[in-house]
Structure 1
């Protein structure tokens, strides 16, 4: 069920408000609505009616019928606060000011916006200044309108003047649910009624003048003018000399009041598709109305209504004719009622709007005002490839950061505040910047949750090592320049991460209703800040309009054989073969990337799906070039740190001997690269006793000694494995080696298990920092899913992230153990 936020400027009685109420009634049960009403009236007419339907209503005090920039800004901020919590699929705006606020907020937070026009402000009848300003506002925001709904064909003709593709503009007439009250058209004498807001463009003054003309002719029909507004007092004063005319202000029983009258009047300077005339048609009344394009779509002169020019003389003549001719009144009333039943039932409005709600999330809007939407490029590429492409462009643009730092250095040098070394150091910073950009490029596959630590490590290490490079080359450098370029470059890459990853959600379309349930365990839960990283969009049942470019980053598709092994209920909900074929054809024609739920799980969690572990045909390859480089790094790091870890190892060995009897070292056969068995060395952390069969070490294993708890927590028990690294049995980073006795057992249970032996096992690894120790076969399966992800994606960037997370765990106690 889609969640739609309706935004409307006011909650008072009126046509747009009635439209919103009828729309909510018609789609209740098929759409989850939240309605945002401008103003601070928590008991508005519309709000109370919606509350009776059980619909959530929010007030927006800053949203008023004004385009004052300060008020607009405040309203946009307030609406954005609501949207961050509500996370709707669609925003649906009603009325001009609400349309401005909703479209600005929708653009800022990437929500599709449907905008219903109840009457453009740039109609020819409007004053020039108002007409110009209204057109300018609509033209600027047309680019950010996903779909525009006009309540009449005339409004659509006006929309053609805006820079908006015509296929995005639809006509959906207003509609009303039926009520039991009908006008008694045979009643004598006939009574008149007008329902309108006492403000422009409505013209109750013309009716009052027409009734004054009739009074001079000896006709004084009982007349009620219903509706409030700023001009109510002025019109009451004009009608005061004629006691048969009563202006009663706002009422909440319009349908019952109409049934007490026989002739309905609506006079106006311009209209969209007035709700009040629909109410009169529903009641079966004879209608006198201004001849306007929107009204002519509803009624035909002399067949279902009497349409007249907006002058007192013409109105008086029409009323005199209807007052005198009872059969004419009855014929016009019945014809109006018939047209209401045939064309203006709620279902006729609800179905097209529901279709728009389903299509809007899959449609583009333009990037800039006064432009038209462009087809999204690179939709066939994967998320990782798109992220790498964006990062590459951003990195090249980031050279401007180095240029900015160099310009600053030149300005400081010109003022005598910096030396020549400052400028030279800035230029030399191009090298660590390029290395940082490369590492981030290689780490583009990492889950979004790891992007922060990855950014910290990949930008920090190259700049931290730069002073060492200057020292080896015996070249002077400026620490201030190095710090300046480091801060600027880190900020630049952080900005890219915020923009490309967090600002814009990853939109995925799906057809099979089982997809959200399959992905639910892996989707990040919004915390009220920003957007969810993935937005799932259902494929509309009726498809997309011909030629519409899909605004999505991919599609989630289940394999054709997915029904096998599923329950009958879920299998019955799956699309048919023909529907699936049509869906896939539409995606292929638009070059949309297809994803399986398993591939999305991998991208979101940094681990392989359970199906991969059981897939006997799954396979991957190592990275020989990086394997060689990694081996050199391992040996170099271990030898360079020898003066540190060797004395520490001696101290730990003494501690083990003092804490419990037995040898300080513990050895065991483990399986390494390509399945080769080797002897691993560790400091003993358990009591010294014979072990006949391989066993899992439990979290609170009673065999662990007091000193053993500490060295296991700080990972100091792994120090002797540095000798295994020097001998080539292990690497600093890689999957943890498993006991020989468990390897065959796990390989039988999990066919993909042997692939973890494509690389050297490590002291720490991706599974180790994500999952910690495995105390059972089930936990081993989870660790394997992380290991296989590492085998598929390992790189220097990922290894640096693992080192960072390992150090974080050792020093702070946070993280997996």
Structure 2
């Protein structure tokens, strides 16, 4: 290989970096999303005279746009984040939040401009997604040494296995290698160093496999981005406050629904409306989880649900499980601090003790509060407890490793999709 040869990273040319970078999206997008509706309503030179009503409206539109851009870019980092499906919910929530702030602070604003900005935001982000979809798909070169077999079976990324110590003029987003492989020769090490010197990122195979699959292998514990096994204490406290406020606000709104579900259960089959079961909770402390009963009380079975065809499930139970209505009583667990809206699903005491004996690091999943919904549920679905436990744990460990607001937002959107469509609900 020629020592003078220089490699070029994908999207490294100035015009590519300009058009695909966030500064362009921020500046040009703000002009379109905020400027056009304001110009249509107030005409040219609207910025020369800004009374409170105009200033409030422009500020609200600008904050909503920046929030949408930042949220979508952060969620795009996670596997399974099909951004096109989350554009409309993200835009809608952002504008609802700024309208709520304006309403409760009794500040004046122009509905026409805010509504026009909302529609322009939808158009801008959908257009940006469809135009950039081809260029956003990562293209990675893979060094054919070490543990790369599982990586090459993953979808969602353009992976190309190198045949020789050269990129053959192809521009890649990065190079993937098993940096711990014993047979990584000095020639390949020199090649990786040359890629780094040319500003082409070199990734360890495990890092890329986790980012594509959304799972962390449970052969050993892996530290988070802060270099620690402990999730962020600050975000844990913030999340607890959000959980409590949200649960207290939702409880009176959902009380009629809960009453209707409880009545339907009692009319359908004999027995109590609530199902109460000890579960393993936060930091390994047992607690009692509340659910609406979805099974007959006089039929025995295994310690876990055997899918949608489980004969123990009642007629009403089948419906409320599909719509996730059986989880509503867990609002009380959230208020008591035993659960969160989002986190690893709590397992029964019997299964937890079994997994503790047979599954490495199983107890590590209790380092965060268990949740009503979680990363494993929206990615894997509500599969049989025992059959999919290893895969479920890999998803849980990924959630703990990437414990953050943005991952929780993504899970919340995916959960709402499950509730609306019924896909994955078990």
- Mapped to 2, the partners of 1:480 and 1:682 lie a distance apart of 45
Deviations 1:772-808 (A, max 9, x none): 2231433122222222222222333332332232222
- Mapped to 1, the partners of 2:372 and 2:220 lie a distance apart of 28
Q: Does 1:771 align with 2:380?
A: yes
Deviations 1:208-229 (A, max 9, x none): xxxxxxxxxxxxxxxxxxxxxx
Deviations 1:114-139 (A, max 9, x none): xxxxxxxxxxxxxxxxxxxxxxxxxx
1:724 to 323, 330, 333: 333
- Mapped to 2, the partners of 1:598 and 1:400 lie a distance apart of 41
- Mapped to 2, the partners of 1:677 and 1:509 lie a distance apart of 47
Number of matched pairs: 414
Partner of 2:111: 479
For 1:398, what is the secondary structure of its paired residue? helix
Superposed displacement of residue 728, structure 1: 0.5
2:138 to 506, 529, 537: 506
Partner of 1:614: 219
| Farther-moved stretch of structure 1 (497-506 vs 664-673) | 497-506
Q: Do 1:507 and 1:537's aligned partners in 2 also have CA atoms closer than 8 Å? A: no
> 1:613 and 1:689, CA in 2 relative to 1: closer, same or farther beyond 3 A?
farther
Q: Does 1:593 align with 2:201?
A: yes
Q: Do 2:152 and 2:159's aligned partners in 1 also have CA atoms closer than 8 Å? A: no
- Mapped to 2, the partners of 1:518 and 1:702 lie a distance apart of 37
* RMSD value, Cα: 3.6
Partner of 2:415: 806
Partner of 1:551: 171
- Mapped to 1, the partners of 2:30 and 2:219 lie a distance apart of 46
Q: Do 1:454 and 1:797's aligned partners in 2 also have CA atoms closer than 8 Å? A: no
> 1:598 and 1:691, CA in 2 relative to 1: closer, same or farther beyond 3 A?
farther
Superposed displacement of residue 710, structure 1: 1.0
> 1:364 and 1:697, CA in 2 relative to 1: closer, same or farther beyond 3 A?
closer
- Mapped to 2, the partners of 1:513 and 1:422 lie a distance apart of 61
Q: Does 1:398 align with 2:29?
A: yes
Matches within 5 A, 1:298-377: none
Q: Does 1:445 align with 2:77?
A: yes
> 1:454 and 1:515, CA in 2 relative to 1: closer, same or farther beyond 3 A?
farther
For 1:784, what is the secondary structure of its paired residue? helix
Superposed displacement of residue 461, structure 1: 0.6
- Mapped to 1, the partners of 2:10 and 2:221 lie a distance apart of 45
1:409 to 32, 38, 41: 41
Deviations 1:754-779 (A, max 9, x none): 23222211111222122222314331
> 1:618 and 1:465, CA in 2 relative to 1: closer, same or farther beyond 3 A?
closer
> 1:582 and 1:666, CA in 2 relative to 1: closer, same or farther beyond 3 A?
same
For 2:278, what is the secondary structure of its paired residue? strand
Unaligned runs of 5+ in 2: none
> 1:395 and 1:686, CA in 2 relative to 1: closer, same or farther beyond 3 A?
same
Q: Do 2:146 and 2:181's aligned partners in 1 also have CA atoms closer than 8 Å? A: no
Partner of 2:210: 602
Matches within 5 A, 1:87-166: none
Q: Do 2:251 and 2:331's aligned partners in 1 also have CA atoms closer than 8 Å? A: no
> 1:730 and 1:409, CA in 2 relative to 1: closer, same or farther beyond 3 A?
same
- Mapped to 2, the partners of 1:544 and 1:651 lie a distance apart of 64
- Mapped to 1, the partners of 2:85 and 2:383 lie a distance apart of 24
The normalised TM-score by structure 2 is 0.84
> 1:454 and 1:797, CA in 2 relative to 1: closer, same or farther beyond 3 A?
farther
Q: Do 2:89 and 2:413's aligned partners in 1 also have CA atoms closer than 8 Å? A: yes
Superposed displacement of residue 718, structure 1: 1.0
> 1:735 and 1:685, CA in 2 relative to 1: closer, same or farther beyond 3 A?
same
Unaligned runs of 5+ in 1: 1-166, 169-358, 368-372, 378-388, 525-532, 563-574
The normalised TM-score by structure 1 is 0.46
Partner of 1:540: 164
Partner of 1:583: 191
> 1:662 and 1:601, CA in 2 relative to 1: closer, same or farther beyond 3 A?
same
Partner of 1:783: 392
Partner of 1:738: 347
> 1:691 and 1:781, CA in 2 relative to 1: closer, same or farther beyond 3 A?
same
> 1:814 and 1:778, CA in 2 relative to 1: closer, same or farther beyond 3 A?
closer
Deviations 1:648-667 (A, max 9, x none): 21221121112112211111
Superposed displacement of residue 726, structure 1: 0.7
Superposed displacement of residue 713, structure 1: 0.9
Question: Which of the two has higher C-alpha Rg?
Answer: 1
Superposed displacement of residue 422, structure 1: 6.0
Deviations 1:124-181 (A, max 9, x none): xxxxxxxxxxxxxxxxxxxxxxxxxxxxxxxxxxxxxxxxxxx99xxxxxxxxxxxxx
- Mapped to 2, the partners of 1:403 and 1:751 lie a distance apart of 56
- Mapped to 2, the partners of 1:606 and 1:392 lie a distance apart of 28
Partner of 1:647: 256
1:628 to 233, 237, 242: 237
> 1:689 and 1:544, CA in 2 relative to 1: closer, same or farther beyond 3 A?
closer
Deviations 1:48-99 (A, max 9, x none): xxxxxxxxxxxxxxxxxxxxxxxxxxxxxxxxxxxxxxxxxxxxxxxxxxxx
Superposed displacement of residue 553, structure 1: 1.9
Partner of 1:428: 60
Partner of 1:658: 267
> 1:424 and 1:363, CA in 2 relative to 1: closer, same or farther beyond 3 A?
closer
- Mapped to 1, the partners of 2:405 and 2:97 lie a distance apart of 15
Superposed displacement of residue 451, structure 1: 1.7
Q: Do 1:681 and 1:721's aligned partners in 2 also have CA atoms closer than 8 Å? A: yes
> 1:455 and 1:750, CA in 2 relative to 1: closer, same or farther beyond 3 A?
farther
> 1:487 and 1:448, CA in 2 relative to 1: closer, same or farther beyond 3 A?
farther
> 1:602 and 1:460, CA in 2 relative to 1: closer, same or farther beyond 3 A?
farther
- Mapped to 1, the partners of 2:222 and 2:373 lie a distance apart of 28
